[in-house]
Chain A
Amino acid sequence: MDLENTFKTGRWCKAIEVKDFVTLNITPYTGDHKFLEGPTARTSKLWDICKDALKEERQNNGLRDVDVNVVSGLTAFEAGYIDKESEVIVGLQTDKLLKRAMKPYGGYNVVKKALSEHGLEPNPIIHESFSKYTKTHNDGVFDAYTDEIRKFRSLGFLTGLPDNYARGRIIGDYRRVALYGINRLIEGKKEDLQKITGPMTDATIRLREEVSEQLRALSDMIEMGKIYGLDLSRPAQNGQEAVQWTYMAYLAAVKEQDGAAMSLGSVSSFLDIFIEKDIQDGKITESEAQEYIDQFVMKLRMVRHLRMEAYDQIFAGDPTWVTESIGGLLIDGRSKVTKTSFRFLNTLYNLGPSPEPNITILWSKNLPKGFKDYCAKVSIETSSIQYENDDLMRTSSNCDDYGIACCVSMQELGKHIQFFGARTNLAKTLLLAINSGRCENTGTQMVDGIPFIEEEYLDYAKIIDNFKIAMKEVARVYNEAMNIIHYMHDKYYYEKAQMALIDTNPKINIAYGIAGLSIVADSLSAIKHAKVKPIRDENGLTVDFQIEGDFPKYGNDDDRVDHIARDVVEHFNLELEKLPVYKNAMPTMSVLTITSNVVYGKKTGATPDGRAKGVAFAPGANPMHGRDTHGVIASLNSVAKIDYKDSKDGISNTLSVVPKSLGATPEMRIENLVRTLDGYFGCNAQHLNVNVLDRDTLLHAMEHPEDHPQLTIRVSGYAVNFVRLTREQQQEVLTRSFHETM
C-alpha cells in the first residue's frame, strides 16, 4: 500500500506533518458505544498471563524480576513475549514480562539503591563503569548545585525535583514512525543537521550534537524492530502495522528512558484512519480492530521502570504515566472522536479497570453526545479516566494536535517539549513570612530581609508584604535549580529516541509547580477575616496558631477567599516569569501535587488555617479535606476561579463522589456527570479527575487487597491501583472529601 495513493494527500506528503494527515483523513464518529466488541480469546489468554504475572509482582514486593547484567537500551535485549502465538502486537521492554531494566544515566546511586532494597547488586563491570568512568545526570547536577539550593531541597521547600531521576514529560510523536517509516525520518533529520551551521555558539554546537544523537537513535530503532522481525524503515501498511509501528516507537522511548512520566500523546484517532481503511476494505472485523487496541493497551499496562522506595512517596503506586489523550475538536470545529477513541475506553471493560495508560479525555462542550455519555459511564464504572478542557486549551494556544504530558500539561505533538520541574511548597513559603525568613522546623535562615513579626495577632497587610518577599526568593532559588537540572539532563541523559520524533528545534516550556495552595488561601483568609495569633517556641518559631472567629474557606464558591487563591497563583507565576531560563524556555506553572501532598504535609509545620503540623495537604488545587461544605459544585467553582493564564501547565482537581450522589438511576448519573463536566469546563476550569466510589469499597480493599487487584482510583492527575498505595496514602485518600450528600 502506498500511503499517498491510499489517503487524501496534502502537506503531510512533503513534510513531516502528522497533524495534516489526521485532519485530512479522520472519520469522526458520532454514534454510541453499541458497536464495540468484547475481547478475543487470544486477548483474554494473554491478559490472564499478565494478571498472574502482576500477582507475582505484588507478592514479590513490587518487583517480579530485574536484569542486573545489562544497561537498558533500544537493542539491549532479545525479543520478549507474553505468549508469542496469541500476540498480534509484539514487543516488551526486556526479554521477559514485567522484568525491569537498569537505566543508570539518570543517577547510578538510585539504581543501586533500588536493587539493594531487593537484596540485589548490579553486575560488577557495570558497577565499575558507573562508579569510575561514566558520569550521570545526578552527578552533574550535584556538581553544580549551590549550598542554597541544597538547603531549600533538603528542608522541603523544593521537593521531588528531577535531579536524581529522569525528568520525563517529553512526548515523542510516535505516530511518525507509522506514517513515514524511519528511513524518511532519518532523511529529514540529516537535512536539518546540514542546515545547522556556524557561528558555532554553545547553542549551535549543542544542537548539532543532539541531532547526531537522534540519528543514532533512529538507526537503533530500525535494529530494534528487526529483533521482532519488523521492518520499521518503511511506513505501516495497514491497521495492525500502524498500531505495531506506533508501539515500537514508544517502546524505544521506554527502553532508553525511565522518565517520571512518559506520555503516549494522542494516537487513537490517528490509528483509526488505518483501521477504518481496513474495515472499509473488508479486510478486518470490529473484533480484530478491538484486538489490536486491547493488545496495544495491554502492552502499555506492562511498562515498568526500576524505582527505589523513596520515589514512591512522591509518585505512589509505581506509575508510568502512559498518558493517552482522546477526543477534543479540530480547529475547524469537527470532532476528533473516532471509533478507535471508543475502542481505547472499551479496554477498561475488556481488560478491566487500570491506572495505565492514563486515559485523558479532551472535553469540549461540542463533543458528540454518544461519546460524552460513554465517557461518563466509564468514569462511573471504573474511576479510571480524567478530563481536561479542550475548549480552553485549544483556543488559548490555537492548537488541535496535542497530548497531555504526565497529568495535566498540554504539549503540541512533535513541535513542543517541556522541562519538568516538580514543585515548591507554598505553605512553607508562607511560614517564612511569619518566621522572619526562617524554616519553621529547624530555624535555618532561608530568606533574608523579612522583618520579625512582633504583634500578638497577625496583620494581613504585613503578612502579604513578607509573603511577597519570600515568594520572590523561593522563585529565584527554584529557577536556579531548574536551570541546572535541565542543563545536566540534556548533557548526560538526553532523550535521543524521543527527540528524534520531534521537530529539530521545538518550543520548550519550563514547568514549575506549586503545592499547598488551599492551605495558603485558607491561612490568608483566616488572617484577614478572623484573628490569628501565632504560638511561638523559645526561638520565636511558630509551633501553632490560635484562631478566633470564623473565616471563609476555599472550596465554597466564596470570592473572599477564592480570589486570594487566584491572586497568589498569579503573583508567584509572575515572579517565576521574571527569571532567565535555560535554552530560553517559556516559564509556566502548574498547581499539581501527584501524591506528594502527603510528604509535603509531613515536612510542614502548623499553618494559620488551623492545620496541625504534619497533616497532609489537599492534592493539587483541591480545597482542604472537609472544608468544602457547600457541595460539589461550590467546590469545583472555587477551583475554576484560578486563571489558566497564570497556570498554563495545568490546574489539577480531583472529585470523589459516591455513586448515589450523582443521581437516583444509572441514566441520571450519566446525565448529571456530563452536566457537571460541561458546567465545570464551561467556567474555564482546566482539569478534573473523577472518582465514583463507595468509601466502603476502599475500606474493604485496604483489608483485603487480594480481592481488589484492579481497583483503580484517580489521585492528583493520574490513577493508581488503590492496593498499591502505602497505608498512609490510602488513609489520605479516605479522609479526602467524599461528597456524599443526596
Chain B
Amino acid sequence: MSPTENKLIVHSIESFGTHDGPGIRLVVFLQGCNLQCKYCQNADTIALKGGASTEIESLIKRAINMKTYFGDDGGVTVSGGEPMLQSKALIPFFETLKTEGIHTNIDTNGLIRTPEAKHLISELADLVMFDVKATTEEGFKSITGAKGLGRLLENIQLREQSKKPYWLRYVLVPDYTDSDESLSWLIETFSGNKYLEKFEILPYHKLGIYKWESLGMDYQFKEVEENTPEQIERAFEMLKPHFKDVIVK
C-alpha cells in the first residue's frame, strides 16, 4: 500500500504516549523506514510493506477525543518507522490538528528532504525531535547502514533558522557513540543553537530484540552491552552544562 493524501500507513497507535514529547500524547507509529539501524527497537516498523492504511479523519477523531487529557503541552506525535516518508499526507493531518488547537510533534531521523518534509520542519510542526544517530558519517553508516549525517544537519539547521523549538535525541551506544570525541562534537555542533529546547540521552537497551527474532532477522548488536550507570552519568555530566535541558530517559 502506498500513502495517499487522506490516508496514512499506520503500524500502531499508542494513546498514552508519555515518552515521545511533552505531556500525554497520541503517538501514531507509521510503517516504513529509510534506515535499518542495528539496534532499532521497532524493527517491525522498518519494512515498507505492511501496516494499516488509515483514514486521517479517524486519527483526528482519536486526537480530539483525547483533548481533555492533553493539558497545556500534550498532543500528537508521529513516529515510526520514519514518518517523513509519508510527509505528503502528514501535511493535511497536521493542518487539521492545528485548527483543532492540538500540539503536533514529529519524531524523525531527519534525513528526508522532500519539499513536504521541509515544510513540516520549517513551518508546520509545533515540535520536531531529531534523532542524532552518530557524530561522524562512518559512525552513522555503521549504525544505520547508510550515510546521512549531512542531511540531518541540514534539516536541523533549517529548523533552527525557522526559529521553532526542537529536541535532539541521542542513543548512547557503548563503544559506538559514547566516546569523549563524540560527546565533544555534539557540544561543538549544537550548544550554540538557540531553539534547541531539550537534549535527551537515551541509554542503549536491548528490549526490542524479540521483535527482530520474531521477524526471523538477525540482531547484529547482540554483543553490545547495555550502558553502566557510570557511563550514563558521565555523558550526562559532560553535556549538561552546554544545553538548556539535558535529560536521561
Contacts and interface: CB of A to CB of B under 8 A. Distances in A.
A200 interface: no
A662 interface: yes
Interface in A660-680: 661-665, 668, 672, 675-676, 678-680
Interface stretch (A106-114, A606-614, A618-626, A630-638): A630-638
A675 B71 contact: yes
B19 A680 contact: no
A675 B24 contact: yes
A668 B24 contact: no
A675 B65 contact: no
Main secondary structure of the interface of B (DSSP, over half): mixed
A633 B69 contact: yes
A557 interface: yes
Nearest to A632: B16
Interface in B214-241: none
A631 B17 contact: yes
Nearest to B16: A632
Interface string A722-742: 000000000000000001011
Interface string A675-698: 110111011000000000000000
Contact of A634 (B13, B19, B68, B70): B13
B151 interface: no
A156 B195 CA distance: 64
A663 B19 contact: yes
A38 to B, nearest CB: 31
B247 A631 contact: no
B201 to A, nearest CB: 11
Contacts, number: 71
B80 interface: no
A678 B19 contact: no
A630 B15 contact: yes
Interface in B9-29: 12-19, 23-24, 26
Given A633-B66, A679-B70, A683-B68, A742 B19 contact: yes
Nearest to A559: B61
Q: Which of B12, B18, B66, B247 has the most CB of A within 10 A?
A: B18
B94 to A, nearest CB: 20
Contacts of A665: 247
Nearest to A628: B15
Nearest to B74: A675
A665 B245 CA distance: 14
A663 to B, nearest CB: 5
Contacts of B49: none
A561 to B, nearest CB: 14
A680 B65 CA distance: 10
Contact of B16 (A629, A633, A678, A683): A633
A672 B72 CA distance: 12
Given A678-B69, A682-B68, A683-B68, A557 B16 contact: no
Contacts of A631: 13-17
A668 B18 contact: yes
Contacts of B74: 675
Interface in B25-70: 26, 62, 65-66, 68-70
A444 B14 CA distance: 45
A668 B71 CA distance: 13
Q: Which of B14, B15, B74, B247 has the most CB of A within 10 A?
A: B15
Interface of B: 12-19, 23-24, 26, 62, 65-66, 68-71, 74, 247, 249
